Chain A
Amino acid sequence: EPEVTQTPSHQVTQMGQEVILRCVPISNHLYFYWYRQILGQKVEFLVSFYNNEISEKSEIFDDQFSVERPDGSNFTLKIRSTKLEDSAMYFCASSVLLRDTQYFGPGTRLTVL
Chain B
Amino acid sequence: GENVEQHPSTLSVQEGDSAVIKCTYSDSASNYFPWYKQELGKRPQLIIDIRSNVGEKKDQRIAVTLNKTAKHFSLHITETQPEDSAVYFCAASNNQAGTALIFGKGTTLSVSS
Question: Which residues of chain A have a CB within 8 Å of any CB of chain B?
Answer: 4, 31, 33, 35, 41-45, 48, 50, 55-56, 58, 91, 98-99, 101-107
Contacts and interface: CB of A to CB of B under 8 A. Distances in A.
A50 B106 CA distance: 28
A42 B43 contact: no
28 contacts: A4-B43, A41-B105, A42-B89, A42-B103, A42-B104, A42-B106, A43-B36, A43-B89, A45-B102, A45-B103, A48-B99, A55-B98, A55-B99, A56-B98, A56-B99, A56-B100, A58-B100, A91-B44, A101-B34, A101-B49, A102-B34, A102-B46, A102-B101, A104-B44, A104-B45, A105-B43, A106-B42, A107-B43
A44 B106 CA distance: 12
B39 to A, nearest CB: 11
A98 B99 contact: yes
Contacts, number: 53
Interface of B: 32, 34, 36, 42-46, 49, 89, 91, 95, 98-106
B46 A103 contact: yes
